[in-house]
Amino acid sequence: MRRAVCPGSFDPVTNGHVDIVARASYLFDEVVVAVGVNKSKNRLFTAEERMDMLNEACREFPNVKVDGFSGLLTTYCQEHDVHAIVKGLRAVSDFDYELQMAQMNSSLADVETVFVPTSPEYSFLASSLVKEVAAFGGDVSGLVPDFVRTRLVERLEENRRKGEQ
Ligand code: PNS
């Protein structure tokens, strides 16, 4: 059984993420979308919300499941008998850090990183940019699944209201 993880924060999942997961699901027998739930980072969505959106976004891929992990990704891989990490590469600027992480991860566990080039139509896409565009009222349809766009707009509006109180 060839099993891989697609790790990330997915705050929130974008169409670029879905594209990478779809292609990983073609390459591997089983793919786990592993959502980092480490507490330290400031997120717009909770881990449960991010996983919930991923489950919806990936429901068309029968060999894909969504799981959360805390701590090291390599520990998750060891505990779940996973030997491949799939990462999307958008541009050369992603490569330095991704290479460093890949080498660190393979020094920690028996795991290889497989880089998949992002499809050109998503090469500029990042969750952080999508949140910023949406926060300033920009249209993010086509960048994230429709139901994610709805939840994003709702959450930003909730946060804006809370900020006004
Ligand atoms: O979507 P992101 O924020 O680029 O995802 C980064 C993620 C979660 C894949 C990365 O930060 C990670 O693997 N974190 C787990 C902690 C860990 O294993 N750190 C050592 C990396 S060499």
Give the predicted TM-score (pTM) of the model.
0.96
Q: What is the mean pLDDT of the chain?
A: 96
* pLDDT at 40 > cutoff 80: no
Residue ranges of the domains in the chain? 3-124
Domain 3-124 in CATH: superfamily? HUPs (3.40.50.620)
Ligand 1 pocket by C-beta < 6 Å: which residues?
A: 7-9, 36, 72-73, 101, 104-105
What pLDDT digit, counting tens, does each position of 108-127 carry? 999 999 999 999 999 999 99
pLDDT of 74 reads 98
Mutate to test the pocket of ligand 1, among 73, 94, 104, 127 (most ligand atoms within 8 A of CB): 73
**pLDDT grade for 41, boundaries at 50, 70 and 90:** low
Q: Specify the length of the chain in residues.
A: 165
What pLDDT digit, counting tens, does each position of 80-101 carry? 999 999 999 999 999 999 999 9
Contacts of 66 (CB under 8 A, 6+ apart): 32, 33, 35, 51, 54, 55, 58
